[in-house]
Amino acid sequence: MHDERTGGLAAAERELSAFFRAVLELYGPEQAEASAEDWLRALMDRCGLPASGREWREVSIAAAARLAGRVGPAGPEWVGG
């Protein structure tokens, strides 16, 4: 029997993990940790767990907006060409 909470928690884990890895790669561990906290806050600001992948991405977008406010318009320093 599939439990909606289990599915929701698995979706949350996947989305947060992907978001965290992306921020870690681009901005380093300090911003990744702060962004994970922002992500959890954005999730708690919602009324209930998101019901679709699109709604999970809205949580990540809200956290990304907070990240953008912290790092400013320059974004990450790109290495390579």
pLDDT tens digits for range 38-68: 999 999 999 888 989 899 999 999 999 999 9
C-alpha torsion 22→3→58→14, nearest 10: 0
- In the numeric block, which tokens belong to residue 47? 């009324």
> To 10 degrees, what angle do helices 29-45 and 53-71 make?
130
Write down the mean pLDDT value for the chain.
87
| C-alpha to C-alpha distance for 2 and 10, rounded to whole angstroms | 12
Domain membership flag for residue 18: no
Look up the domain containing 32 and give its range: 28-70
pTM: 0.80
Domain membership flag for residue 58: yes
Domain count, the chain: 1
Domain membership flag for residue 16: no
Domain membership flag for residue 61: yes
pLDDT bucket at 29, cuts 50 / 70 / 90: very high
| C-alpha to C-alpha distance for 21 and 28, rounded to whole angstroms | 9
Domain membership flag for residue 5: no
| Strands in 2-75 per DSSP E | none
Domain membership flag for residue 7: no
